[in-house]
Each structure stands twice: as C-alpha cells, then as structure tokens.
Structure 1
Amino acid sequence: MMEPKQVIVDTDPGIDDLHAILIFLAAEKRKKVKIEAITVSVGNTNIENGCKNLVRLLEKAKRTDIPVYKGASSSLLCDTNYDGYFGKDGLGDMACSNEPDLSIVGDEPSPLAMKRLIESNPGKISLVCLGPLTNIAIASKIYENMFVDLKELFILGGTCKGKGNVNLTAEFNFHFDPESVHSVLKSVTCPTTILPFEPCSDVALPLSWRFDILPNITPEMQFMTEVEQHFFKNKGFTNRWNIPDGFLALIILYPDAILHKEAYHMTIELHGNLTRGQCIVDHMKSKKTNVFVVEKLSKEFLADTLLEIHGSD
C-alpha cells in the first residue's frame, strides 16, 4: 500500500476552495493523503474572513486537529482589490449563526509554517496552491531551498489560451498578485503542475447535478449545500457548477482525470495596460520548460469520482 501523500494546502477560502478542502478531508479518511497544514491567504476575501470560513468547515467536519496558519493579508504590491464574486465574506454573504473558534489558528505566519514543514520533510511535501501565490512567493524568499526540498507543486490559476475570467485575458488567482506568480515561475525547480482556467470551464457540470444528484450526507457537505444554494439564488445562476479548486484536488488524488498535459515555459505579464496578469505560454517550445500545464480533463471521470467521494461519510 502506498504511503499517503503529505500535503500542505494553501487557500483563500471562498466557496470553491472549501470544496477542495472537502475532497482532501475525504481522501485523508481513505489514507490517500495526510494534511500537514492548511495555510490561509488573501484572495476571495480578506484574511480574517478566510480564516473564519475555513474554521467553520473544519468544525463541521470535526477536523479542528488540522494545523491552520494565517498568511498574507495583501498582494506583494499591496494593491489588493477583491472582485467580490463570492460576496464580501467569501461565502456568498450568507449570515452564519455561529462564530468559529479561531483559537485553532496558529500564531506562526503561513510562510514560516511552510518553511518549517518543508525543511523538516525534504522531498516529501506536496504543496497545493488554491489561491493567489503570495504566501508561496514570500516563503520562497525566506527559504532559498524551498523548491529543492519540495516534492512537487500544484497550482490552480492562469490561462493556457489567454481566455480570462476577471478581464479578457487574465484568471483571478494570477491577476490578483501577478508579481508573486512571476517570482514563483522564475525560481521553481521542483515538478510543477498548473491547472488553468480554460480546461476547468470546459468540464463544468450542470447545477441541477450538484443539488439533485451529488450526495449530501455529511454535516460539512450539508453546510456547503446551504451556502451554495444561497449563493446561486442571489447570483441568479441556474445552469453551470464549476469548481476549479475541487478539480485541482481531484487531479492530484486521481491523475487519470487528466486527459492531456504538456510541458511549457510559462511566465506572466506584469506591465501591460490591457494584459497585466495574463499568462505567457511558450507554445513554440523555444525556452526551457518550467511547468506542466493541464490542457484537458475528463468530465465523466470527475463527476464519477465526486459521486464516489461524497457517497459515504
């Protein structure tokens, strides 16, 4: 039997991120992963709300034993601008009746926690990045061997065809803090897989499938269902359920969900008036590759796996 994959999950807890956390929690029950820590970053909402959202979910799942650390409260250039897609609080502005117990959030800043855990487990930690790369960029500057000691890096963000979701050309996570992306992509040496926006959009599931077919058994999943029903009702969305963060978690745990990935050199535009935050992918293969880019996912595999994961408590 294979040893569980040791993971640190870096997240900006909005609704989509929490789905990824649910998947990792379910995988830990099956001994597929060991969650060494969850580190919180700014992104979908401010850092305080992000910590609250994460702890609420962990309380529902009775998993407050997992170490949680608070990280960056702004982008590297401090030009943070929330788009409010998931509301001001990251949970669709649904009034939650309980205040989470934030005493479980450690005093150690996220980048220092990453350094400590990776340094003490060289070649064993898989770092999963669900949000902007601010924490990772900071950690790599205070820990110069970080990408040597990491086993692998998984990143949700960017684009492979220049089709954006916050403007014409940029994806939210990379657009939020492009300087951190530039820093990470310039210095990364460990195996790095990027799941960009377009292949996730291509495999979005029907919203009716989410609420009518996907099992709703555990307290933590019931919490997410309540949050999402409120969110989609207020947004007026009726057709698509797209959880890129959850899809990243699934391809880490079940690589067969990937139909095609390709090695490229990737960087990011920092200065364009119209293209700041756009990924620059060397499709001509003229430069040394630095990442693997996932270009196609299996919608059927993802749906079947979600049914299996959430079909038992």
Structure 2
Amino acid sequence: MKKKLIIDADIGVDDAQALMVAIADPDVEVLGIICCYGNTPLENVLKNTLRVLKVCNRLDIPVYRGCSEPLLAHKRHAGDFHGKDGLGDVPDPDAPCLELLQKKRGVPAMIKLVNQNPGEVTLVATAPLTNLALAAQLNPSFSKNLKALYIMGGNTESRGNTTVCGEFNFVADPEAAYIVLDRYTCPTYIATWEFSCRNSLPWSFCDTWLAQDTDKARFMEKISLHTRTMVQTDRYQKELVSGPGFNTCDTYAMAAAIEDTLVTESEEVAVTVELEGKHTRGMMVLDYMDLLKKKHKVFVMKSIDLEKFKQLLMNALK
C-alpha cells in the first residue's frame, strides 16, 4: 500500500527539492499539489510546480490553484531569496502552460481528496498555512479524516528568519497558522526553522548531490545557484544563524512524512501562535507549563537520521 500524500506548497527552490523527494519514492502516491502564495506570487508558484513536474516526467499529478494572499495579514513574500520567480530566475522557454492546471480550486479539491480517502492521506504543508486554515473553516471535520499533518514552519527558540522572532511560513499568515494549530486534531509533526538549521548538511554533500549525471540534477543545480550563492555569504550566516551548511528546510518535513524512521527525537507539546506582539507576531509558542489546557499536542522534531535523509535527497535526482 503506497503512502497517499497531498502537498500544499509555495514552490520555490526548497519546495522543489521536497517535491522531487516525494515523487522519487516508489512507495508514495501524490494525490495532488495545492499551490499557495509565499516564496513568490501565486502565478509563479503555479508555473514552478509544473516546471518541477515536467523535469520529473510527472505532469500527470494534479495541480490546483490555492490562495493568493493571507487571511488578514499584509501580503509578503520571501524577497529575492530564491530569485524573483522562486526558481533562481533561470529562463525556461519550454515551461508547461497553465492550461494543465485543474479547473477545481485548491481548497475544495483538498477537502474532496481527503474525504474520498478517510484516514489514509498525509498532508504535507511547506507554505503559509492559508489553504489549510480555509479547509478547516469550510469543513470543520476535515482534519479528522487526515492520517497525519506534517508542517515546515514555526520556531522553538524565538529565532526568526523573517522578523525578529518569526519564521517565514508562520509570519506570512499568523492567523492561518493559529487556526491550523488550534483546530487540526490529527497527529501533527512540525519541522521548525531552528530544527532545520541544526540538521543542515555539509556543502560537500550538496556538491556531490548536484554532480549526478541526470537531467534532474542539472535542473536543480541551475535553479539553486542563486540561493546557494546568497546562503554562503558571511552576511547571511550572521543574520540568520542558519549554520555552516546546506539547509533544505521544506524537505525535512517531506522526508519525515515519507520515512517513518527518519525522526530520531521529538517532543510532544501543546503549541499556539502569537497574534498581537509587536516583535513576536507569528512566533510559535510552546506551552511546557500546560497553561493553555489544550488536549491536542504536536510532535516537534528535534533530530533525524542524517544518512537516511541524504539518501532520500540522492534518490530524488537520480
């Protein structure tokens, strides 16, 4: 029995890496990809998703148009981190046309796919959580039909990568993150910003990974050049404290969803999201004192089997 995944993503370079890991796994069936604004505006995300599927020869996977802006917050994007188009500003004259997109909108499609496969679908969210929040509002029992939810987002030590205390996916739509962490009752696993920083890989591995003689590797090398150049500057290392290595943050959540034994340490704790603080809006809050009296707790990832993680990445570009 293959693992059934729905992927909610704002396809930039790191989302592309995560998506390629999922597609390459023979034990995974991707039921659909719901696109969201984030790394770049939604129209770019839609194009990027189709570009990644084309290089993987998987344009059969349904792609849906999701939300183009947050619920209430001011719209923001990831600047020029992954290039203006989200994939390193690499020209692609043969990019698939948007006519390949599904006609059905993303959130209703996600609800339908999950309801058709109750208890079987794992949802992997690597974007702002706007689509997921709307799904919970439109169908309050939505999360009860999920097998599990894996999120890349939030933080545990108030270390920001967008604001002083905020990780991008949560800061981009704090209200959506709050709703998801408040209303989703399925098993929930979170790969936070600090967690991905602590589990970054050596740049020597990245070089080996991209040196594979395949179209996928050549594609990844081109689209990631802009980001790698930026990340390897001293200024970035000092500002984001990301560690001296290759941090493909979205892929940690995807890999954990695919490989049950990948996460070697986690902690179960109730969490919420700060909505009002001047410096802390969008920051994930961990309730170690149980003051929130929340029944549902999440699993915050702490460490992983890095060798298994490396293998999943290598397989993605074969």
Q: What TM-score, normalized to structure 1?
A: 0.92
Letter in 1 for 2:302: E
Q: Which residue of 1 aligns with 2:298?
A: 291
Distance 1:233 1:112 in 2: 39
* Partners of 1:12 and 1:45 within 8 A in 2: yes
Number of equivalenced pairs:
306
Distance 1:236 1:197 in 2: 18
**Identity across the alignment (%):** 34
Note the C-alpha offset of 1:145.
1.3
Q: Which residue of 2 aligns with 1:19?
A: 17
State yes or no: 1:193 paired with 2:200: no
State yes or no: 1:177 paired with 2:164: no
Cα gap change, 1:56 to 1:213, in 2 (>3 Å): closer
Note the C-alpha offset of 1:80.
0.8
Consecutive unaligned residues of structure 2, counting only runs of 5 or more, are 235-243
Q: Which residue of 1 aligns with 2:49?
A: 54
Cα gap change, 1:247 to 1:217, in 2 (>3 Å): farther
Cα gap change, 1:235 to 1:187, in 2 (>3 Å): closer
State yes or no: 1:212 paired with 2:208: yes
Cα gap change, 1:213 to 1:39, in 2 (>3 Å): closer
Note the C-alpha offset of 1:253.
1.6
Distance 1:138 1:210 in 2: 37
Distance 2:211 2:256 in 1: 20
Q: Which residue of 1 aligns with 2:276?
A: 271
Q: CA-to-partner distance for each residue in 1:64-109, whole Å, 9 max, x for gaps?
A: 1000001000011151111312122111223333332211111111
Q: What's the secondary structure of 2:261's corresponding residue? A: helix
Q: Which residue of 1 aligns with 2:264?
A: 259
Q: What's the secondary structure of 2:288's corresponding residue? A: coil
* Partners of 2:209 and 2:313 within 8 A in 1: no
Distance 1:251 1:235 in 2: 24
Q: CA-to-partner distance for each residue in 1:111-142, whole Å, 9 max, x for gaps?
A: 01011111111111111101110001111111
Q: What's the secondary structure of 1:256's corresponding residue? A: coil
Cα gap change, 1:273 to 1:14, in 2 (>3 Å): same
Letter in 2 for 1:118: V
Q: Which residue of 1 aligns with 2:117?
A: 121
Q: Which residue of 1 aligns with 2:237?
A: none
Q: What's the secondary structure of 1:131's corresponding residue? A: coil
Q: Which residue of 2 aligns with 1:7?
A: 5
RMSD of aligned C-alpha atoms? 1.8
Consecutive unaligned residues of structure 1, counting only runs of 5 or more, are none
Q: CA-to-partner distance for each residue in 1:119-178, whole Å, 9 max, x for gaps?
A: 111111111101110001111111121011111111110012221211221111011101
State yes or no: 1:303 paired with 2:310: yes
Q: Which residue of 2 aligns with 1:36?
A: 31
* Partners of 2:210 and 2:220 within 8 A in 1: no
Q: What TM-score, normalized to structure 2?
A: 0.90
Q: What's the secondary structure of 1:240's corresponding residue? A: coil
* Partners of 1:160 and 1:295 within 8 A in 2: no
Q: Match for 1:111 among 107, 116, 125?
A: 107
Letter in 2 for 1:187: R
Letter in 1 for 2:249: P
Q: Which residue of 1 aligns with 2:156?
A: 160
Cα gap change, 1:205 to 1:235, in 2 (>3 Å): closer
Q: What's the secondary structure of 2:308's corresponding residue? A: helix
Q: What's the secondary structure of 1:194's corresponding residue? A: strand
Q: CA-to-partner distance for each residue in 1:158-214, whole Å, 9 max, x for gaps?
A: 012221211221111011101001111111111111111111101111223212355
Q: CA-to-partner distance for each residue in 1:237-291, whole Å, 9 max, x for gaps?
A: 4952110111211111223221211111100000100110111101224433421
Note the C-alpha offset of 1:310.
4.1
* Partners of 2:125 and 2:151 within 8 A in 1: yes
* Partners of 1:43 and 1:132 within 8 A in 2: yes
Q: Match for 1:65 among 60, 63, 71?
A: 60
Q: Which residue of 2 aligns with 1:81?
A: 76
Cα gap change, 1:77 to 1:71, in 2 (>3 Å): same
Distance 1:174 1:74 in 2: 13
Distance 1:82 1:117 in 2: 28
Letter in 1 for 2:297: N
Note the C-alpha offset of 1:236.
5.4
Per mean C-alpha deviation after superposition, the further-off stretch among 77-86 and 102-111 is 77-86
